[in-house]
Structure 1
Amino acid sequence: MNVTVIEPGATLGVLGGGQLGAMFATAAKRMGYATVVWDPDPEAPAHRLADYSLINPFEDADARREFTRLVQAVTYEWENIPADLCEQLERDVPVRPSSRVLRVIQDRIEQKTFLRNQGLAVPVFSAMTSPEELGRQVTPGYPLVCKTATAGYDGKGQWKIARAEDCAAVQQELARNMRPGARWILEEWLPFDREVSILVVRGADGSSLTYPLVENVHEDGILRQTTVPANVSAPVVEQAANLARQAVHALDGVGVFCVELFLMSDDRLLINEVAPRPHNSGHYSLDACTVSQFEQQVRTLCGLPLGEIRLLSPAVMLNLIGDDVRLATTAPAVQDLLREPGAIVHLYGKRAIRPKRKMGHVSFLAATREEALAKAVSFRARLVPTSC
């Protein structure tokens, strides 16, 4: 298949200016591309790395025309970007992944239905269009988790319901925050053994590659730690790679995708969610792989060959959340951290520190995964505020 190549020297657009947009802009600049970041938040960190910035609302038609005039191709940093905007943009320039892919993925009900119709294993689920339906739903049974169909992330917009008696309180919260057209998905609460994820890179020519399977630890719905490689059997790794490739190929997606999976005690895997972009659990690739997920995002956007995927070292990625960043970057803690062989610090440049906000991450590289884990555990034990 002949694919049009967008050569270095061109200007690439990214919708969204958080840390993922900033890392994309950094990779693009290293590869010889200029970038335009469009994010309505003037404090978004990617603005400081871009060649051009737009801070207009995404609904601004003049800003859309200006953005289109400047760029030769467009990507986005997260799935809550308006799909309508992407559809309008792709009339003039390539948008990867496409608006069609984005529409499927950004609605959990649409995504799970699509995956199930492809014969891919997902948790049992049902859709809900009003809070009053919650107590009447019988599929799936309790315990279950209720999630907003759109817009939730990092544990926001999710409620665990252990038994029928818990429904009333969740109903009240749903009703208080209800938006026109809101929907929710009810999923079975799975007694999984562990959470794992895998990156899939797919080019416009249909070629694809997978990164190593990683093991994730979440706290309060937020990713806290990723370990690569995952401590699982070779058949599980192969099963995960096959599931992930099938999902992305079924979507006909072009770009970088992260497939989050639940690993059950009998080694079955079920797809939790698919993200149409680089992912927090793939940040280890910046330091521990020959080609990072962000360079792959540039390559797939520009029609370039996919990069080699080779894990250079076992690694543990630990997120700095909220006040962690202050504790980690204040002497003597920062001195101790930077003395640690294999420790690599990434700070995102967010000016406001807030609870549950990802402020940066640290990668710990070592000869073995056990040694990398020990380094991460030791560092995290030091992230405890001292009392006066």
Structure 2
Amino acid sequence: MSTASNKQPAKPILPGATIGIFGGGQLGRMTAMAAREMGYRVQVLDPDPACPARFVVDSCIEAAWDDAREAANLARGCDVVTLEIEQIAPASMAAAANFAPVRPSGAMLSIIQDRVVQKDWLREHGFPVGDYRAVRSLDELRTAISELGGKCFCKSATGGYDGRGQGKVGFTPGASIEDEARGAWQALGEGPGVVEKAVDLAREISVLVARAPNGETKAYPPAWNHHENQILAWSAIPAPLTDAMAREARGFAEALAEAFQLEGILAVEMFVTTDGKLLINELAPRPHNSYHASVRACVTSQFEQLVRAVCDLPLGDVDVVQPAAIANLLGDRWLNPDGSPREPKFAEALAVPGIRLHLYEKHKPRKGRKMGHLSAVGATVDEAVKLVQQAEGLL
């Protein structure tokens, strides 16, 4: 699905130029690999001197997300700057923008960085969201839980992902709501947050949309996502949805790209409710875990698409060539129950037909830390999911 505006194309940033990336995690690493394959040079900024992207880029600036001086230094040596993480300080985005285009923009990022601001913005612009309350104290959190029916997810306003900075209330039979509320407030870091009413879920999906500065827009087919302990366990493309629901989901993503005047890519996480409605959960203006399968499922991977979008090149085809799935490999796989190290049985997993291994060169496994993923293709999306789960079980 694509749209294009009548706006005259801007001058593209052609191969041979240098792309800067705020963030050198696995998303930056895979974006850099796609960029290098297309003939670009790549520089990253990351606080970790051993970040995964360091091993595949031309240079890496070791600096904090709020180091505006080093952000400017990154941009001075680049033709365009993008990002793979939302935690970049507004001052760093502004400093970089003095020397190179920063795509997506700091204005868009400032809305998405704060979950309360993001939810309010979505509601004010007419996008469907579940019932929620902004909270700034334990008393406000108690009130929100009561107003929302007692079964809620509590999330910190800023930061927090893969279950961090989040708490649940009302899911444990016999548990004290007061104790759970206090626990959720502590999980939020005793700071501002959002309390969301739990919805009756049929499925979780996401849609990745790309938009170039010239206005060309393309939305990928929806991905089907499964979370465990609030961390994505596996994801597959295309999601098993009716054609009408898939069109609706892609339409929301395209409308968001237009409303934000997006330059880059945006992942839109959505809930499919048991009564057939779509609700927008969260936004991520960067490559997304749920679209790792696009490397094998789609004509154009999300990483190549990001390069095309920020460089104002024609966007790539987003059609599905074959169903594909991924399963995340967390640091738990490298640890025995007693915490001692172990080596996953990669050879056994790779013996499963259609399986590939993708590791991020993270050298310190920790419980819950994403170390890599497995991918599989199949004749159907269900087959791809079964194959990747089979391989994961052999590790």
Q: Scaled by the length of structure 1, what TM-score is found?
A: 0.92
Which residue of structure 1 aligns with residue 270 of structure 2?
A: 261
State whether structure 2 residue 28 is matched by structure 1 residue 21. yes
State whether structure 2 residue 394 is matched by structure 1 residue 382. yes
| Percent identity between the two aligned chains | 39
State whether structure 2 residue 382 is matched by structure 1 residue 370. yes
Paired residue type of 2:203: R
Structure 2 unaligned segments of length 5 or more: list them.
1-7, 337-341
Q: CA deviation at 1:281?
A: 0.3
1:315-335 deviation digits (Å, cap 9, x = unpaired): 1111111132579x958x322
CA separation of 1:151/1:176 partners in 2, compared to 1, >3 Å: closer, same or farther? closer
> CA contact under 8 A between 1:319 and 1:362: conserved in structure 2?
yes
> CA contact under 8 A between 1:134 and 1:167: conserved in structure 2?
no
- Within the candidate set 31, 56, 62, 2:38 is matched to 31
> CA contact under 8 A between 1:125 and 1:139: conserved in structure 2?
no
> CA contact under 8 A between 2:324 and 2:375: conserved in structure 1?
yes
Aligned counterparts of 2:14 and 2:222: Cα–Cα separation in 1:
32
CA separation of 1:226/1:172 partners in 2, compared to 1, >3 Å: closer, same or farther? closer
State whether structure 2 residue 163 is matched by structure 1 residue 151. no
Paired residue type of 2:206: S
SS in 1 for 2:201: coil
Which residue of structure 2 aligns with residue 224 of structure 1?
A: 233
Q: CA deviation at 1:78?
A: 1.4
State whether structure 2 residue 312 is matched by structure 1 residue 300. no
Q: CA deviation at 1:169?
A: 4.5
Q: CA deviation at 1:93?
A: 1.1
Within-5 A mapping of 1:21-170: 21-137=28-144, 138-162=146-170, 165-170=176-181
> CA contact under 8 A between 2:19 and 2:81: conserved in structure 1?
yes
Aligned counterparts of 1:60 and 1:42: Cα–Cα separation in 2:
15
Q: CA deviation at 1:80?
A: 1.6
> CA contact under 8 A between 1:132 and 1:171: conserved in structure 2?
no
Paired residue type of 1:60: D
- Within the candidate set 7, 10, 13, 1:6 is matched to 13
> CA contact under 8 A between 1:131 and 1:175: conserved in structure 2?
no
> CA contact under 8 A between 2:211 and 2:309: conserved in structure 1?
yes
1:187-215 deviation digits (Å, cap 9, x = unpaired): 11111111111111111122211111111
State whether structure 2 residue 357 is matched by structure 1 residue 341. no
1:48-70 deviation digits (Å, cap 9, x = unpaired): 11101110233435423421221
Aligned counterparts of 2:278 and 2:183: Cα–Cα separation in 1:
34
CA separation of 1:87/1:139 partners in 2, compared to 1, >3 Å: closer, same or farther? farther
CA separation of 1:356/1:116 partners in 2, compared to 1, >3 Å: closer, same or farther? same
Aligned counterparts of 1:64 and 1:349: Cα–Cα separation in 2:
24
Aligned counterparts of 2:180 and 2:52: Cα–Cα separation in 1:
38
1:290-325 deviation digits (Å, cap 9, x = unpaired): 211001111111111101112111111111111325
State whether structure 2 residue 333 is matched by structure 1 residue 324. yes
Report the number of matched residues. 379
CA separation of 1:177/1:155 partners in 2, compared to 1, >3 Å: closer, same or farther? closer
> CA contact under 8 A between 1:10 and 1:71: conserved in structure 2?
yes
Paired residue type of 1:309: V
Which residue of structure 2 aligns with residue 386 of structure 1?
A: none
SS in 2 for 1:206: coil
Paired residue type of 1:96: R
Which residue of structure 1 aligns with residue 4 of structure 2?
A: none
SS in 2 for 1:105: helix
> CA contact under 8 A between 2:332 and 2:366: conserved in structure 1?
yes
CA separation of 1:373/1:173 partners in 2, compared to 1, >3 Å: closer, same or farther? closer
Paired residue type of 1:374: K
